[in-house]
C-alpha cells in the first residue's frame, strides 16, 4: 500500500464468497446437459426457435426424419429449413401459412397432421416458450412420425368397407350388433323385408331392431346365444344349435304390413382375428 507521500506501507486483499454463483453455474450446466440428453433421446423430432426466428435446438431425430442436407443443417436461421421442408410436403402453402400464423400469434398452441410427398405423415404440435415472468422466448415444435398408424387406420377402414359391402349384397336379410347391442349393419335385404331404411336403424340400441318384426321391443335370437336350449325353445320353434351358432324358426307378427310372416333366423357371435368376441 502506498501512502500519501508515496511510501509503501502494506498490502490490501479482497475476498468474495462465490459459492452460490458456482453452485448456480453447476446447476445450470447440469440442467442444460439433462435437457440436451432428453431432446436427443426423444423419439420425436424437436425444433426450438427463439423470438427472432433463430434455431436454438434441432435434434438429430428431426434432421434424420426430414433428410435435411448438411448445408441447411449448419444454418441457424429457421427460414432455409422451413422452405426445404415445405417443398417436400403435399401442401407447401398450407404448411408455411400455419407456421407464419403461429409466429404472429405468440400465445397460441396448435396440433395438426402433415402429409409428405413420399407418404410420410407427421403429427405436428407447437406451443410458445414462456418464462416464469410471462416473457415470450420463442416457440417449440415437436413432430411425431405416425405413418404406420395412419396406414393401419386406412387398412382397417378399407377392410371394414369391404365387409360392409359384402354384408350389404348378401341375398339374405342380415343385421349385426356391436358389444353394446347397437346396430352396426342393416343390409339391403333387411331394408326390403322390414321397410326400415338403414340410416334410421344404424346406431340404434335397446332392441329397436326387433320392432319391425314384432311390433315391440323384445328379446331375439342373438340375446339367447348363451342361454339354455329349453329357454330358447320357449321362444322359437325348430331350434338347432351348431357350435356357437343358433338356427330357429319363428313367427314375426309385424312383418308384411302387420299380416305377419314366418322366418328362419340364424344368429352367432362375431370374433376378431384373435378369436375374441
232-258 tens-digit pLDDT? 666 677 778 888 888 888 899 999 989
Closest CA to 148 of 125, 123, 124: 123
Is the CATH code 3.30.450 the one for domain 150-267?
A: yes
Using pLDDT thresholds of 50, 70 and 90, give the confidence band for residue 275. very low
| Mean pLDDT value of segment 80-84 | 91
**Contact yes or no for 56/138 (Cβ under 8 A):** yes
Closest CA to 190 of 159, 166, 165, 212: 212
Same fold, 23-145 and 150-267: yes
For the chain, the structural domain boundaries read 23-145, 150-267
For domain 23-145, the CATH superfamily is: PAS domain (3.30.450.20)
Helix locations, 3-77, DSSP H: 19-41, 60-66, 70-73
For the chain, what is the mean pLDDT?
85
Quote the CA–CA distance of 71 and 77 in Å, as a whole number: 12
Backbone angles phi, psi at 8, to 5 degrees: -70, 125
pLDDT in tens, 16-67: 877 777 777 777 676 656 667 677 778 899 999 988 888 888 899 999 999 9
Length of the chain: 277
Low-confidence winner among 16-25, 93-102, 107-116 (lowest mean pLDDT): 16-25
- Grid coordinates standing for 219? 328379446
Query: What pLDDT, on the 0 to 100 scale, is given for residue 28?
Result: 64
Query: What pLDDT, on the 0 to 100 scale, is given for residue 105?
Result: 93
- Grid coordinates standing for 263? 322366418
pLDDT in tens, 140-195: 999 999 999 999 998 888 888 888 888 888 999 999 888 888 998 999 999 999 99
Quote the CA–CA distance of 219 and 277 in Å, as a whole number: 20
Asked if pLDDT for residue 126 goes beyond 90, the answer is yes
Highest average pLDDT, of 117-121, 155-159, 215-219, 230-234, comes from: 117-121
Query: What pLDDT, on the 0 to 100 scale, is given for residue 8?
Result: 64
Judged on CB neighbours under 10 Å (0-12, 13-18, 19+), 147 is middle
Amino acid at each position: 500500500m502506498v501512502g500519501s507521500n508515496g511510501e509503501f506501507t502494506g498490502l490490501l486483499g479482497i475476498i468474495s464468497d462465490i459459492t452460490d454463483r458456482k453452485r448456480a453455474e453447476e446447476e445450470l450446466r447440469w440442467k442444460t446437459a439433462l435437457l440436451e440428453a432428453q431432446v436427443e433421446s426423444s423419439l420425436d423430432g424437436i425444433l426450438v426457435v427463439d423470438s427472432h426466428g433463430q434455431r436454438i435446438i434441432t435434434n438429430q431425430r428431426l434432421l434424420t426424419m426430414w433428410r435435411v442436407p448438411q448445408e441447411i443443417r449448419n444454418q441457424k436461421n429457421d427460414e432455409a429449413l422451413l422452405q426445404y421442408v415445405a417443398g417436400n410436403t403435399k401442401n407447401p402453402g398450407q404448411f408455411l401459412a400455419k407456421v407464419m400464423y403461429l409466429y404472429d400469434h405468440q400465445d397460441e398452441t396448435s396440433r395438426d397432421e402433415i402429409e409428405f410427398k413420399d407418404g410420410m405423415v407427421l403429427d405436428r404440435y407447437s406451443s410458445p416458450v414462456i418464462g416464469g415472468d410471462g416473457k415470450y422466448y420463442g416457440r417449440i415444435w415437436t413432430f411425431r412420425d405416425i405413418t404406420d398408424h395412419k396406414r393401419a387406420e386406412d387398412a382397417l377402414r378399407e377392410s371394414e368397407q369391404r365387409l360392409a359391402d359384402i354384408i350389404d349384397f348378401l341375398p339374405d336379410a342380415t343385421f349385426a350388433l356391436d358389444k353394446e347391442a347397437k346396430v352396426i349393419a342393416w343390409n339391403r335385404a333387411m331394408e326390403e323385408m322390414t321397410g326400415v331404411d338403414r340410416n334410421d336403424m344404424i346406431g340404434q340400441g335397446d332392441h329397436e331392431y326387433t320392432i319391425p318384426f314384432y311390433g315391440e321391443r323384445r328379446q331375439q335370437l342373438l340375446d339367447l346365444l348363451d342361454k339354455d336350449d329349453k329357454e330358447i325353445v320357449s321362444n322359437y320353434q325348430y331350434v338347432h344349435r351348431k357350435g356357437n351358432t343358433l338356427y330357429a324358426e319363428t313367427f314375426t307378427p309385424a312383418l308384411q304390413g302387420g299380416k305377419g310372416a314366418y322366418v328362419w333366423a340364424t344368429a352367432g357371435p362375431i370374433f376378431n382375428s384373435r378369436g375374441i368376441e
